[in-house]
Amino acid sequence: MTRSDQTNPRRHWRIWILPVLIAAGIGIAIWQPLDFETLLEQGREVGNSPLFLSAAVVVMILLFTFGLPGSLGLWLIAPFNPPLIATALLVLASVGGALGGYYFAAFLQRDWHPTGLAARIFEVLKEQGNFVTQTGLRLFPGFPHSVLNFSGGVLRLPVPTFIAAAVIGLTVKWAVYARAVYGITDAVADESPIDPAALWPLALLAALLLAGAFLKKRLLRG
């Protein structure tokens, strides 16, 4: 433990967050106040509401704008809505957040100093910020969207190209995620085997994860 860790009491309580969450999850699983089917029905009642979906999209846009994990919105939308609707909403939210992050970074560019993988992505976009490169980076899971958004704003990449790459890359990725989550949710709710049609998104997602991990290693090695 470093000296800063010893002198900063805020760091001590953080190490208890994960154990507490795990214990809470185990307790809820044992207690089971509501069965999964009931939870899913209630979730769909709320998750299909236009007001709820609008709020989820707005929250995702704000999170992406300020470099926070807006992808968590997937679990608010995808389990409760057909893949086509979920994909459209997720693309709308993430592209809106991408533009927000672009202009936010363009406004505060002097205060952003990326390091590690973020710095390598920034350098790649600085040297080759074309449509193909941007689209490819959007496709792979594991690449922080905030870095792509902020890099685009700092480098002042052309906005039409930036938007087009975001729309295409995110549409493909969100479509895979939404189909996989919805298929698994349906199978668990019906207590039936997973539909073979739901397996191809999982296979494609696994391939994207492997490709993304390989590309990240290549970027980190320079």
Cα 146 to the center of its chain, rounded Å: 10
CA dist., res. 145 & res. 64, Å (int): 8
Could you read off the pLDDT tens digit of each residue along the chain, which spans 222 residues? 444 444 444 445 445 555 565 565 555 555 554 454 555 666 666 777 889 999 999 999 999 999 888 888 888 898 889 999 999 999 999 999 999 999 999 888 766 777 777 888 888 888 888 898 898 888 877 677 888 999 999 999 999 999 999 999 999 889 988 988 888 777 666 655 555 565 566 666 666 666 655 566 665 565
In a 13 Å sphere around the CA of 122, the CA atoms on its Cβ side amount to 18
State the sign of the Cα–Cα–Cα–Cα dihedral 89, 132, 208, 145.
negative
| pTM of this structure | 0.73
- Domains of the chain, residue spans: 1-33, 36-220
Say if residues 81 and 116 touch (Cβ distance below 8 Å): no
The H or E element that residue 46 is part of is: helix 36-47
Give one DSSP letter per residue of 101-138, joined into a string.
HHHHHHHSGGG----HHHHHHHHHHHHH-SHHHHHHHH
